[in-house]
Amino acid sequence: MKRSIKVVGAIIENENEEILCALRSPRMSRPNLWEFPGGKVEKEEIIREAVVREIMEELGCNVEFNNVFSDTTHEYEDVIVNLITVRCKLISGSLVATEHSKVIWLKPESLTSLIWAPADMDAVNKLIKEGV
């Protein structure tokens, strides 16, 4: 039986209505695919706490949780991922990609120019449809 994990992905928007996109590094599972930064929700941790912790760990900055954007489950070959994407606001710090190969800002209509991790596609499509 495949293991299931719950992860949170941060949809961080800037003042130009661009969204932060993160490229998974070659040393990560599903390397060289784009995703919303974030990570595993620890046992007994709520989504709000998880996204704040994960963004500090991965990008060295503070975010404020706004609201849940989407909740989807994707089955990979080796794991079932329940991805909860949340809208966040950057509060302080400067972005430093410590785990990802790179991070970039893109307008919603340009998100499909990247090759995304399959679990993130529902949120990507919803962002494009809404235009942020």
Ordered by where they begin, the domains of the chain are 3-130 (3.90.79.10)
pLDDT in tens, 77-114: 999 999 999 999 999 888 888 888 999 999 999 999 99
- Please give the model's pTM, rounded to 2 decimal places: 0.92
Written in H, E and C, the secondary structure of the chain is CCEEEEEEEEEEECCCCCEEEEEECCCCCCCCCEECCEEECCCCCCHHHHHHHHHHHHHCCEEEEEEEEEEEEEECCCEEEEEEEEEEEEEECCCCCCCEEEEEEECHHHHHHCCECHHHHHHHHHHHHHCC
